[in-house]
Amino acid sequence: MNKTKYTAIVEKEGDMYVALCPELDVASQGKTIEDAKANLKEAVELFLECADPKEIRERLHEEVIITSFEAAHT
């Protein structure tokens, strides 16, 4: 079984946490950060298992850069 490392971006939305895998544009949610990440992992694994290889290649962003910046505001 092959394994690939993916990114999870987690945001709080109301009472839930939403997790996004930007490499494949797959998202999930959970009541805790850990739940959201576990649900995202399951969603990504199901997507990779069920999706057509062409769709996976088209959606895959091989280089995702997470960074921050400051913006001025009043």
pLDDT tens for each residue of 41-58:
999 999 999 999 999 999
As a CATH number, domain 1-74 is: 3.30.160.250
b/e per residue 38-67 (b: at least 16 CB within 10 A): ebbbebbeebeeeeeeeeeeeeeeeeeeee
pLDDT of residue 1: 82
- What pLDDT, on a 0 to 100 scale, did the predictor assign at position 57? 94
Q: Give the DSSP letter of residue 40.
A: H
Mean pLDDT taken over the chain: 96
CA–CA separation, 24 and 30 (whole Å): 19
Quick check: helix, strand or coil at residue 61?
coil
Give pTM, 2 decimals: 0.89
